Amino acid sequence: MGCVNGKCCSRYPSSPDGGSDHCGELRPYKSKHILTKRSLEIVHVSSHNFTLQYSILTQLGYYQDRVESENQDSFCIKTQIQCNPNVHVFGVFDGHGQYGAQFSNFFNDRLVEILSSDSTLLDDPLKAYTSAFLAINSELHDSEIDDTMSGTTAITVLVVGDTLYLANDGDSRVVIAVKNGDQILAEDLSMDQTSFRKDEYERVKLCGARVLSIDQVEGFKDPNIQNWGEEENEGSDPPRLWIPNGMYPGTAFTRSLGDSTAEKIGVIADPEISVVKLTPNNLFFIVASDGVFEFLPSRTIVNMVAAYTDPKDACAAIVGESYTLWLENEDRTDDIIIIIIQIKALWIPVIGWWCHR
pLDDT at position 263, please? 96
Angstrom CA distances, 284 to 87, 252, 253, 281, 312, stand at 17, 29, 26, 9, 13
Distance CA 234, CA 252 (A): 14
168: β partners: 155, 272
pLDDT at res. 8: 40
How many Å is the maximal CA-CA distance in the chain?
A: 69
CA distance 128 to 120: 7
Q: Which of 343, 308, 340, 344 is nearest to 37 (CA)?
A: 340
Beta bridge partners of 274: 166
Torsion of CA 276, 277, 278, 282, to 10 degrees: -50
Q: List, in sequence order, every residue forming a beta bridge with 73; answer none if it has no partner.
A: 94
Strand partners, 59: 34, 336
Q: How far apart are CA 128 and CA 133, in angstroms?
A: 9
pLDDT value, residue 349? 56
Alpha carbon 329 to chain centroid distance? 22
Q: Provide the pLDDT for residue 348.
A: 58
Task: Note whether 91 and 108 are within 8 A (CB).
Answer: yes
**Which domains are seen in the chain, by residue range?**
41-63+70-192+255-345 (3.60.40.10), 194-252 (no CATH)
Q: Please give the DSSP secondary-structure letter assigned to residue 194.
A: B
Distance (Å) of CA 185 to CA 298, 303, 317: 10, 8, 19
Say how far apart CA 172 and CA 190 lie, in whole Å: 8
What is the C-alpha to C-alpha distance for residues 88 and 84, in angstroms, rounded to an integer? 8
Does the CA dihedral 6-261-193-35 come out positive or negative? positive
Q: What is the pLDDT along the chain (357 residues), one digit of tens a residue?
A: 555 444 444 333 333 343 555 553 333 334 444 445 557 899 999 999 999 999 999 998 888 776 667 889 999 999 999 999 999 999 999 999 999 999 999 999 999 999 999 999 999 999 999 999 999 999 999 999 999 999 999 999 999 999 999 999 999 999 999 999 999 999 999 999 999 999 999 999 999 999 999 999 898 998 888 888 776 554 568 899 999 999 999 999 999 999 999 999 999 999 999 999 999 999 999 999 999 999 999 999 999 999 999 999 999 999 999 999 999 998 888 899 999 999 998 765 554 444 444
Residue type, 81: I
Q: How many other C-beta atoms lie within 10 A of the C-beta of residue 356?
A: 11
What pLDDT was estimated at residue 257? 97
